[in-house]
Structure 1
Amino acid sequence: MREAGVMRVSGAIFAMALGVAIILARVAALPLMPIDETRYLSVAWEMWQHQSFLVPLLNGEAYSHKPPLLFWLIQLGWWLFGTSDWVARLVIPTVGLAGFWLVADIVRQLAPDARRVAWWAPVVLLSTTLWFLYLALSMFDILLSVCLLLAVDGWLRYLRTGHRRLLILAGLAVGLGVLAKGPVVFVYWLPLALATRFWWPDKALRQARIWTALLAASLLGGLIGLAWAIPAAIAGGEAYANAILWSQSAGRVTQAFDHARPWYWYLPALLVATLPWPLIGLWQKPWTATPLQRFALCGILPPLLLLSLISGKQAHYLMPILPFLAIWLSLQLVARPPGRQWGVALLLLAMTGLMALLPDIVVRIFPQAPLSSWSRLGTLIPLALTLWLLSRPCRAALVLAWPLTLLTLLLLLSPAIRHYYDLAPMARRLADLESRGIPVAYAGEYHNQFRFLGRLETDLTEIDADRVLQAWLANHPQGRVIEVLREPTQRQSEIASYHQPFRGRSYLIVPGDRWEAFVAASAEPSE
């Protein structure tokens, strides 16, 4: 592929077209990923069943961990196109595709002459590991990132034109960000908007106008969030109200109840999340302090600092930073010819070696789903990309080699992933039990991972204590118990009416009248 030929179409359109191909390939080849994706689609399905517009539901109870925008969008897709798996799985990735256009438009609004940067920024964004991995998933971070980009795009358009409707657009987008993932959107939005005078090229812009407009947009965004949160708090009860109005946000900031990590954790995480770019020699470009460069850094550094100070940390919290990092990298990419990138070539060769050994590795980790020796032919993809990168160094090869290699690896692993991560067979078995009126209890913490996949209508009984389980079995002798074991014995597998592997464990459905024999069989040798 010649770089000049690639440049004939819009970079955003090129990234969107490649993104569509990646999304369709992954949705076709890979299952819904438990526990998160299966849970979120089940929440949307339960809201759909009970027509609960305000309060998300998880196994019959109010679900306070996330706001409703993702669930609303999935239900909108169902209302328009039907309740199929494909519709459910494509709604959020389709929203994510809009991020490529927004990144390019943001560059055009701030630096109209930087046409080449506007071309490359969406493609660079797609090439980062974290964005590539999350693009096809029905999760919150891509949605939050697109809401943030829409707010920033509206803000830039307002600064350029002064039209108040564009300021309203920015405020609406901030509000959508609140509905997507809560007040955390302000961690990314406020530092960038507050630094407007630092990066805006027209220094005649009055500070008073910036402050007034920023206050108006941010208040509108907050009010949109409250327009949902207050009625939802009233409808969901006191515990739910306390969770969505206080503990879900404050608890993560001060003393995380989950994912607590040290302040420096994001530094190595960012290096992995942005591969292959830490290996590319673009970081030595002298500081030029252009408005676009200052803008990109304001979108990266302050949120990164604030996130580092927050107790709860996850790699995907970095997602809204990546579009601004893509803009900064594109500035460097355009400013100099790429040359031979030996670091990326070594990374691709390492992936080539990994794919050559993949059948041997998979048979050890996933012994029930061995790969065919023909899967070693997948090594031709990264090998060909390495040769392209070294023989004809160009920006297109540099940007496309890594995501195409990652896609190849995922497709090669798809048979094993499906065998160990696809919960649809288990969900269908539960749907059969439900149709026969047989009650089911789940021993342990249940994440509603089966409800959407099985289109279940009833809640599972969640039991976390042996004495409670014994009481339930006494009242439901013909019921079934779902147990999760790391290494069930051969006898336990025989007693269970159904079992399937799940990651490093097994799901088992045990008839209630055989539960005592199942427990006693735990002392026997495992399979």
Structure 2
Amino acid sequence: MTFQSPSRRCLFWVFLVFTLIWFSNLDYRNLVRPDEGRYAEIPREMSVTGDWKTPRLNGIKYFEKPALQYWATAAAYDLFGEHHWTARLWSALTGFIGVLFTFYAGSRLFGKEAGLYSALVLGSSLLYAMIGHIITLDMGVSFFMGAGLMAFLLAQQSSATPRENKVWMLVTWAALALSILSKGLIGGVLPGAVLVLYTLIQRDFALWKRLHLISGLLLFFAITAPWFIAVSLANPEFFHFFFIHEHFERFLTKVHNRFHPWYTFIPILLLGILPWLVMLFDSLAHAWKKTDADKNTFQPKRFLLIWAVFIFVFFSVSSSKLPSYILPIFPALALLIGERLTQIKSRTLFWQIIPIAVLAAAGLVLIPKVISFASDEVPVALYQNYITWLYPAAAIWLTGSLIGLYLSYQERVRGAIIALALSSLIAGQLALAGHNSLSPASSAYHLAQEIKPYLKPDVPFYSVNMYEQTLPFYIKRTVTLVEYQDEMAFGIEQEPDKWIPLISTFEEIWRKQPYALAIMKPETFNRLQADHLPMQVIAKDTRRIIVKTP
């Protein structure tokens, strides 16, 4: 099917609307435990202490991940202050730039129409758009892995000049180095494994002559080595914990209690790629076909397919699983889907959108069922408030799907794809913003506001048999852990003076304190109350109670 390239005016308006939607709600939502609290607090402590070498969580050494995102967020705090939007800025920016780079790479590889569609697919995919507005490390590593992937494709395309090949390969090496500084060795190991697989399958060993290995590796280590060396010299215990425990043991064992069945990522992918689910299967079915009669010509679609399949399988067999782990495959899938959308007929697109419209309609009907998720910790009233956001979200998604159906029936493919993409993005952002209705149960923001009058300089603040990840960010200070370690166990082992091992010891200290605060779960409060520990409740919700000395 022949398309006229999108005009600059069309691209400008799509870019403007997408940008406004993408950055519209970064500051609206309160931080959600645990990830948002953790990854907002570590940079805050980095900014306050001025120690940009050793990451700390709650004042305790925290070596689970490298420091790139911590640096970026701490810099945002220093420049603009500590806010929700500055805490989320790195995820939002890397996700946004990833969409722009996908447009550029798709345009260079498959044509401007494919570039536009690929960017729209990526930016509106449910999982990608969600993670781009949540504070985790996964968007950063996905962006740099995706940037490395796309730069590699640009370097290896048959039309690339020797100079273009070298420049884009250096961009590839730099991007992979930054992906390692974002989340660890997977940022380099997975792309390397994909390259080996592609080489073996395609028998394209000449490809290795175009990798600029010497200059690339020099650049790679110039970027990655300084921090790893500096943090290892300052903390000799870092090397074993980071490289052995956090990589090999995480992958091979259930040490992090994130074990799920091998098929866990299948439903996550099917939901996360919405609204492009049907298009995904169509594009995968055509991805292996050669685009050039010369068997020695680099095949970008085959490389993208191997990238997506290998990374998906890698994390599926891993013993540690979280939904966002498969995010690095989304730029590759978006390019494949975007390229395929330029090939299909309008009537084919019409039939592919029908299931999406049905899903949107079903979602609209089933919204009241959300209340069934209510519990003692998350009461019905909170879900009722959330429903008021879900209705317009589902209605917008359904409306966009119906507009897409109409436009595709009228053979206006581009308009149909834009309508489906933007309506899906708006719907997703509304649903995400509405999640703030549940924040009294998922965030410490409300508790922090209640206890502000009780926060005095240097007052002892104990966290008894728990750690509320979002609290330190809001009260702008750390707390003393009592009989609780969890992910801070290794750091506590290095600095055991920074916690209280037993609740009985805490009780002795508490009775001697002229003024102190403590946070605990209701069951811990009841236990201490039974021990006649003097406490005055100053704030509480369904999950936590904050007390002070009488």
- Give the superposition deviation at 1:14: 6.3
Residue deviations 1:381-423, cap 9 Å, x none?
A: 3443343244333323333343333333334454x22333342
Structure 2 vs 1, CA of residues 477 and 463 (structure 1 numbering), >3 Å: closer, same or farther? farther
Q: In the alignment, is residue 371 of structure 1 matched against residue 379 of structure 2?
A: no
Match of 2:447 among 418, 426, 438: 426
Q: In the alignment, is residue 339 of structure 1 matched against residue 337 of structure 2?
A: no
Report if aligned partners of 1:500, 1:508 keep a CA contact under 8 Å in 2. yes
Counterpart of 1:175 in structure 2 is 177
Counterpart of 2:483 in structure 1 is 463
Q: In the alignment, is residue 319 of structure 1 matched against residue 327 of structure 2?
A: yes
Report if aligned partners of 1:124, 1:399 keep a CA contact under 8 Å in 2. yes
SS at match of 1:229: helix
Structure 2 vs 1, CA of residues 383 and 322 (structure 1 numbering), >3 Å: closer, same or farther? closer
Q: Distance in 1 between matches of 2:208 and 2:304?
A: 23
Q: Distance in 1 between matches of 2:424 and 2:306?
A: 27
Q: Distance in 2 between matches of 1:128 and 1:315?
A: 14
Counterpart of 1:39 in structure 2 is 38
TM-score by length of 2: 0.79
Q: In the alignment, is residue 118 of structure 1 matched against residue 126 of structure 2?
A: no
Which shows bigger deviation, 355-364 or 45-54?
A: 355-364
Matches within 5 A, 1:42-441: 42-111=41-110, 114-159=111-156, 160-163=160-163, 164-194=166-196, 206-210=206-210, 213-214=212-213, 217=216, 220-222=219-221, 224-238=223-237, 240-258=238-256, 259-280=258-279, 283=282, 286=286, 288-290=289-291, 291-336=299-344, 337=346, 338-340=349-351, 341-355=353-367, 366-369=379-382, 370-371=384-385, 378=392, 380-393=395-408, 394-414=416-436, 416-429=437-450, 432-441=453-462
Residue deviations 1:4-50, cap 9 Å, x none?
A: 99943488866754553334333243212221111111100111111
Counterpart of 2:20 in structure 1 is 21
Q: Distance in 1 between matches of 2:259 and 2:370?
A: 33
Residue deviations 1:333-367, cap 9 Å, x none?
A: 22112114321111100121134666898799533
SS at match of 2:543: strand
Report if aligned partners of 1:357, 1:376 keep a CA contact under 8 Å in 2. no
Q: In the alignment, is residue 442 of structure 1 matched against residue 463 of structure 2?
A: yes
Structure 2 vs 1, CA of residues 271 and 153 (structure 1 numbering), >3 Å: closer, same or farther? closer
SS at match of 2:25: helix
TM-score by length of 1: 0.82
Q: Distance in 2 between matches of 1:362 and 1:299?
A: 39
Q: Distance in 2 between matches of 1:460 and 1:12?
A: 53
Q: Distance in 2 between matches of 1:104 and 1:324?
A: 12
Report if aligned partners of 2:47, 2:75 keep a CA contact under 8 Å in 1. no
Structure 2 vs 1, CA of residues 299 and 360 (structure 1 numbering), >3 Å: closer, same or farther? closer
Q: In the alignment, is residue 498 of structure 1 matched against residue 538 of structure 2?
A: yes
Q: Distance in 2 between matches of 1:376 and 1:168?
A: 45
Structure 2 vs 1, CA of residues 198 and 129 (structure 1 numbering), >3 Å: closer, same or farther? farther
Q: Distance in 1 between matches of 2:467 and 2:233?
A: 26
- Long gaps (5+) in structure 2: 292-298, 409-415, 485-501
Matches within 5 A, 1:1-12: 7-9=6-8
Report if aligned partners of 1:103, 1:323 keep a CA contact under 8 Å in 2. yes
Residue deviations 1:166-214, cap 9 Å, x none?
A: 43332221111111000011243213444666899xx8x934513x525
- Give the superposition deviation at 1:487: 11
Report if aligned partners of 1:229, 1:245 keep a CA contact under 8 Å in 2. no
Q: Distance in 1 between matches of 2:309 and 2:388?
A: 45
Report if aligned partners of 1:107, 1:118 keep a CA contact under 8 Å in 2. yes
Structure 2 vs 1, CA of residues 280 and 437 (structure 1 numbering), >3 Å: closer, same or farther? same
SS at match of 1:499: strand
- Give the superposition deviation at 1:486: 7.3
Structure 2 vs 1, CA of residues 366 and 382 (structure 1 numbering), >3 Å: closer, same or farther? farther
Q: Distance in 2 between matches of 1:439 and 1:27?
A: 33
Percent sequence identity over matched residues?
19
Name the amino acid aligned to 1:405. A
Counterpart of 1:518 in structure 2 is none
SS at match of 2:544: strand
Structure 2 vs 1, CA of residues 367 and 383 (structure 1 numbering), >3 Å: closer, same or farther? same
SS at match of 1:371: helix
Report if aligned partners of 1:499, 1:509 keep a CA contact under 8 Å in 2. yes
Residue deviations 1:266-286, cap 9 Å, x none?
A: 233322222233345852855
Structure 2 vs 1, CA of residues 473 and 241 (structure 1 numbering), >3 Å: closer, same or farther? farther
- Long gaps (5+) in structure 1: 514-527
- Give the superposition deviation at 1:216: 5.2
